[in-house]
Amino acid sequence: MSNQRFKAIASSHTRTEINVEDFGRRSEYFGMNVFNEERMLQYLTKDAYDRVKAAVVSGVKIDRKVADQVAEGMKTWAISMGATHYTHWFQPLTGTTAEKHDAFFDFSPEGRVMEKFGGGQLVQQESDASSFPNGGIRNTFEARGYTAWDPTSPAFLYGTTLCIPTVFVAYTGEALDNKAPLLRALNAMDEAATTVAKFFDKNVSKVYATLGWEQEYFLIDKSLAFSRPDISLAGRTLVGQSAAKGQQLDDHYFGVIPNRVLNFMKDLEKECTKLGIPVKTRHNEVAPNQFELAPIFEETNLAVDHNLLLMDVMEKIADKHFFKVLFHEKPFRGINGSGKHNNWSLSTDTGVNLLSPGSTPMKNLQFLTFFVNTIKAVDNYEELLRSSIASAGNDHRLGANEAPPAILSIFIGEQLNEVLNELEGVTKGKLSPEEKTELKLNVVGKIPEILLDNTDRNRTSPFAFTGNKFEMRGVGSKSNCAKPMMVLNTIVAKQLMAFKKEVDQLVDKKGLKKDEAIFNVLREYIKTSKRIRFEGDGYSEIWENEAKSRGLSNNKNTPKALQVLTSKESLALFKSMNVMSEIEVRVRQEVELEEYILHIQIEGRVFNELAYSYIIPAAVEYQNKLIKNVVGLKEIYGAAHKKMSESQLDIVERISEHIRAIKIKTDAMVDERKKANNMSDINKKAFAYCDNVRPYFDEIRYHCDKLEQLVGDEYWPLTKYRELLFIK
């Protein structure tokens, strides 16, 4: 039975490295497979180029005539690069991407073969929407959906296919993807942040939300990974005794990258460079066989597209190098899981980072304005922001092995806390000349100096300020960044609108000067959002109790976390910001609950297979070996055998106890799964899987892992942690 395991180990030891040559200067071919500005200038007329740029910057609609010109230019370029097909590349609510390829091929009216791709095919395509998650708003016989071109994210060539980033909507107009709500949220952010930025610089006409993600992942030899049914079907190890050595020596973190992995990374970076993904940083992570890749910051919509494309490219390149890349948030128990830290900031079209202090008190007041408003927004909607990172996989990761807890809090550092505490004491109403001078010179004016030395980091903080950006650390490695970025940009945009209104009222009705009004409003925000700021250990039980007393949510599982989506406050928020309608919000809640149910259901089925087809048979086989040994000793030594076989019989009994426990608990888990499956209410069903089915997983695992310690190594059928994590 264990043949598959040992064949996999043997196969992993005979791998021949695929050497990848260093590819020279990236600047020479960065974006060579992207229909970017350089290609547009080459293949489009000036009018078409100007119209596309206007659509990207200002959202100006592209008419059919211009669309035809753009399509012709795209087609000519793509075919010259070897393309044979095109596709609308979109993000359904599966969390991944989807595509349907069509050839540049048609017949003319005269029957001649021709390459065809026009504005109609570029701008809009009809797609079957029935088989994608839709939250029950579409029946199978109402299958029509549409994909529509997103000109803000450039088309790219992937293999021999021209990929056109698009939104995906139902026939009735509701968004059935993650991109459309994100674009709406980014538009709301642009409008709200621009009006506030004009307080400080009248020349600002646009504000971009930027994103820099950090993609963590595990690389496991392909043979080893596929020898495990749980990794193949659930993406993680459902059973497995921890190896004697894990990450406790900290010898993997930032260590020398193994040659085989380095060749994978080189190959990956080469493809990413061609696709315009600005990957920059690579290194070993904390856990064995865990790594990280990070890019340069980009506009958020483009960064999201690039991350989704990256994950697809990673899987293909990993397969080429005989690896399996694991994106699951917690593929191995007892060591660090994988996150996707989302580094978020705001930049103006004048080149200013709004979350970075400047050289003058006024620029620092601008920084404080966006800094404090972000804190206030997170405080107002901390439970909603928590819901945006909820998933079955992330439930295992949050609150364990350096990952942030499920409680949302903000870390800003001791020095910035002192600045906010001083601002909290600002006089209400008009400021005296002395107070103005004190604030501008000795409080606000010293912020750059404070940040220069404030390099300390709190690794357990879910939302931390790190110098010129906020880092959202709870996002799972498998997640689509569009979800947390949609929520974050929506709530900050909402807060900035409220701030602008309050400042204007103080100026117009109270006669305060602009900077006085700003200080007054910020003072109140600092007071009312104080509960969300926390500088300590996010794991401690003391903090959990304190967070509860502060009124902060602690939704430790996905079904609980997702309930806030359909609260009156959440529905009103998304509607008022024109980000999502009530139907679109309810669709997402139902889809995510269904996804959670299916993940737990699949894991339950895999547990059943592991118990009955792998672990119990292996344990029984080894038990029979021991019994045969005892019988042999009895035949040779008679009554004297008892002392010699005492240890063997003890192991036989312990194996029987664990086998019995596994059977009882597995059967009970299956019964609970059947009960849950009969429930029609999606919320009740999700909670049933969470509260009644999932707890059995840990209980079954306990006994399986005990058997792994008892059963002889040559009998154990599942590839062990020491092999999965330490075979390079």
Is residue 575 one of the residues assigned to a domain?
yes
Mean pLDDT value of segment 437-447 = 79
User: The tokens of 409 are what?
Assistant: 């809090």
Do residues 215 and 67 both lie within one domain?
no
Mean pLDDT throughout 290-301? Answer: 96
Quote the pLDDT of residue 128: 61
The enclosing domain of 266 has a CATH number of 3.30.590.10
Task: Tell me the CA distances in angstroms from 161 to 81, 386, 666, one per residue in order.
Answer: 10, 37, 47
- Specify the range with the lowest mean pLDDT, choosing from 139-153, 673-687, 711-725: 139-153
> Domain ends where: 523, 551, 580?
580
pLDDT at 1: 45
- Distance (Å, rounded) from C-alpha 388 to C-alpha 588? 11
The conformation of residue 83, written as its DSSP 8-state character, comes to -
pLDDT band at 249 (very low <50, low <70, confident <90, very high): confident
pLDDT of residue 126: 74
Interior/surface letters 562-601, b for 16+ CB within 10 angstroms, e for the rest: bbbbeeeebbebbeebebbbeebbbbbbbbbbbbbbebbb
Q: How many distinct structural domains can be found in the chain?
A: 3
Boundary (domain end) residue, out of 580, 605, 623: 580
25 in a structural domain: no
Instruction: Give residue-wise pLDDT tens across range 558-593.
Output: 999 999 999 999 999 999 999 999 999 999 999 999
Is 22 among the domain residues? Answer: no
What type of residue sits at position 137? I
Taking residue 541's Cβ as centre, other Cβ atoms within 10 Å add up to 8
Let me know whether 140 and 252 are in one domain.
no
> Phi and psi for 314 in degrees, rounded to 5?
-60, -45
Residue 426 sits in the same domain as residue 485 = yes
The first and second tokens of residue 250, run together, are 């900290």
Q: Which residue has the higher pLDDT, 159 or 3?
A: 159
Structural domain contains residue 680: yes
Structural domain includes residue 2: no
| Burial bucket for residue 26 (CB in 10 Å: 0-12, 13-18, 19+) | middle
* Percent of the chain residues topping a pLDDT of 90: 70
Q: Are residues 172 and 195 in the same domain?
A: no
Do 342 and 437 belong to one domain? yes
Helix, strand, coil distribution of the chain in percent, nearest 5: 55, 15, 35
Task: Work out the burial of residue 128: count CB atoms within 10 Å of its CB; fewer than 13 is exposed, 13-18 middle, 19 or more buried.
Answer: exposed
Residue 623 lies in a domain: yes
- In 500-538, which positions are buried (b, 16+ CB within 10 angstroms) versus exposed (e)? bebbeebbeeeebeebbbbbbbbbebbeebeebbbeeeb
Tally of CA atoms within 13 A in the half-sphere of 653 that contains its CB: 6
Residue 681: pLDDT band with limits 50, 70, 90: very high
Q: What pLDDT does residue 37 have?
A: 92
- Residues 172 and 321 both lie in one domain: no
User: Helices 64-80 and 46-58 sit at what angle, rounded to 10 degrees?
Assistant: 110
Asked if 264 and 275 count as a contact pair (C-beta separation under 8 A), the reply is no
Calculate mean pLDDT across residues 42-61.
90
User: pLDDT-based confidence at 455, cuts 50/70/90?
Assistant: very low
CA proximity to 524, closest of 505, 494, 504, 499: 499
Average pLDDT over residues 325-329: 97
Q: Average pLDDT of 80-86?
A: 95
Residues 564 and 602 in one domain: no
Domain end: 129, 151, 176, which one?
Answer: 176
User: Which of 59-68, 94-103, 180-189, 443-452 has maximum average pLDDT?
Assistant: 180-189
Digit-coded pLDDT (tens) for 226-248: 999 999 999 999 999 998 877 77
CA distance 523 to 443: 13
**Average pLDDT over all residues of the chain:** 91
Does residue 456 surpass a pLDDT of 60? Answer: no
163 and 192 housed in the same domain:
no
pTM: 0.94
> Is residue 637's pLDDT more than 90?
no
Q: Which of 595, 386, 577 is nearest to 484 (CA)?
A: 386
Mean pLDDT of 712-728: 93
CA distance 512 to 429: 7
pLDDT in tens, 151-208: 999 999 999 999 999 999 887 788 999 999 999 999 999 999 999 999 999 999 999 9
H/E segment holding residue 207: strand 207-221
Co-location of 107 and 199 in the same domain:
no
Asked whether residue 379 falls in the same domain as residue 497, the answer is yes
CATH number at residue 159: 3.10.20.70
Residue 5 domain flag: no
Longest dimension (CA), the chain: 105
Same domain? For 568 and 608 the reply is no
Q: What is the DSSP letter of 438?
A: I
507-510's contacts with Cβ under 8 Å and 24+ in sequence apart are 510/429
Q: Is residue 14 part of a domain?
A: no
| Structural domain harbouring 95 | 31-176
Q: What is the pLDDT of residue 624?
A: 95
* CA–CA separation, 14 and 34 (whole Å): 38
336-380 pLDDT, tens digit per residue, is 999 999 999 999 999 999 999 888 888 889 999 999 999 999 999
Mean pLDDT, range 45-60, rounded to an integer: 89
CATH of the domain at 640: 1.20.120.1560
What is the pLDDT confidence band of residue 141, given thresholds at 50, 70 and 90?
Answer: very low
Do residues 575 and 679 both lie within one domain?
no
